[in-house]
Structure 1
Amino acid sequence: MIQTVKTPWHLWLVAGLALLWNGFGAFDSFMSLTQGDPYLRSMGMTEAQIAYFHRFPAWMSVAWVVGTWGGLAGAILLLLRRRWALWAFGASFVGVLATIYYTFIGSPDGAEVMGGNTAMTGVITTIAVLLIGYARFMTRRGVLR
């Protein structure tokens, strides 16, 4: 006999907010990579920041895409009540860590050029960790299948 677990109301709230949050990140990375400088200028970036983006090594671009699109995939999988959401959020977190590493340690001027925005970096990291924790909690409770 298969036992079904009722979906808690907060799953829809968390998944919806995660979809909005990660949807913007995925949109931003897509527009940055496809529209380039005009999009980056429209987002208020300086010429030095745009030049910094142009110097990204290939692995950094991949990490950024994994971070943003992994989060979007995780949100969609959470909405679909799939346990793969945990893995997608995990991949997103690895992408976030890689971008933080490159900005603050791996590049000679990343933190300076990008303004050392540690507050936003902290928010992004915290949300990524919370989404992993939430997906793990929902998986253990049997809500995600």
Structure 2
Amino acid sequence: MTEDTSVISPRASWHLWAVGILGVLWNGFGCFDFTMTVTRNEGYLAGYPEEMLAYWFAMPWWIFALWAVGVFGGLLGSLALLMKKRLAVLLFAASLLAAIISNIIGMTDTDAPKMEGTEIIPVIIIALAAAFLAYAYWQSRRGVLR
């Protein structure tokens, strides 16, 4: 008599798809914003004040690298979550860390021009990155992610 030693992982709930799709949309917009900014797309950047654009384009390359890790890590983490891959946890962790570092630098830079009404955006970015990481970690602990 043989014993079945296969492990049955729990089924993914509907909310995995909801969180994954929300993550693709949110982080996909971040990737679009990053791409339009680094390529200096005139139509996309037309609504920003000149002083803001000058500040962004004078930033060192490593700030853009942090931004890229944040948004592309979040997008890849969302895709990995939808594919039920444990790699989503690592990708979301990298995204959160990059978001924290880059937003702290931006919020504490006294030379940075400020746009009225945008003060809450870094908090939203970090909160969502933390929520995506927490959700992926929870799904990994449940055995949904492989």
Pick from 87, 90, 95 the counterpart of residue 93 of structure 2. Answer: 90
Amino acid at match of 1:122: V
After TM superposition, give the deviation of residue 121 of structure 1 in Å.
1.2
SS at match of 1:90: helix
Q: Provide the aligned C-alpha RMSD in A.
A: 1.5
Partner residue in 2 for 1:40: 45
Larger RCO: 1 or 2 (CA < 8 Å, sep 6+): 2
Alpha-carbon separation, structure 2, partners of 1:2 and 1:8: 18
Contact kept, 8 Å, 1:66 with 1:95, in 2: the verdict is: yes
Alpha-carbon separation, structure 2, partners of 1:114 and 1:86: 33
Partner residue in 1 for 2:3: none
Task: Describe the shift of the 1:38–1:102 C-alpha distance in structure 2 as closer, same or farther (beyond 3 A).
Answer: farther
Q: Which has the larger radius of gyration?
A: 2
SS at match of 1:113: coil
Alpha-carbon separation, structure 1, partners of 2:114 and 2:124: 19
Q: Percent of counterpart pairs with the same letter?
A: 36
Partner residue in 1 for 2:22: 17
SS at match of 2:12: coil
After TM superposition, give the deviation of residue 62 of structure 1 in Å.
0.3
Partner residue in 2 for 1:125: 126
Contact kept, 8 Å, 1:37 with 1:50, in 2: the verdict is: no
Give CA deviations for 1:1-31 in whole Å, capped at 9, x if unaligned.
2213211111001101111000000111011
Alpha-carbon separation, structure 2, partners of 1:127 and 1:100: 13
Amino acid at match of 2:9: T
Q: How does 1:128-139 map to 2 (within 5 A)?
A: 128-139=129-140
More helix by share: 1
Task: Describe the shift of the 1:144–1:79 C-alpha distance in structure 2 as closer, same or farther (beyond 3 A).
Answer: same
- Unpaired stretches in structure 1, ≥5 consecutive residues: none
Pick from 75, 87, 95 the counterpart of residue 72 of structure 1. Answer: 75
- Unpaired stretches in structure 2, ≥5 consecutive residues: 1-5
Alpha-carbon separation, structure 2, partners of 1:60 and 1:38: 23
After TM superposition, give the deviation of residue 138 of structure 1 in Å.
0.2
Instruction: Give the number of equivalent residue pairs.
Output: 141
Pick from 108, 111, 122 the counterpart of residue 110 of structure 2. Answer: 108
Q: Please identify runs of 4+ aligned residues in structure 1 that moved more than 2 A.
A: 35-39, 112-118
State the TM-score, normalizing by the size of structure 1.
Answer: 0.90
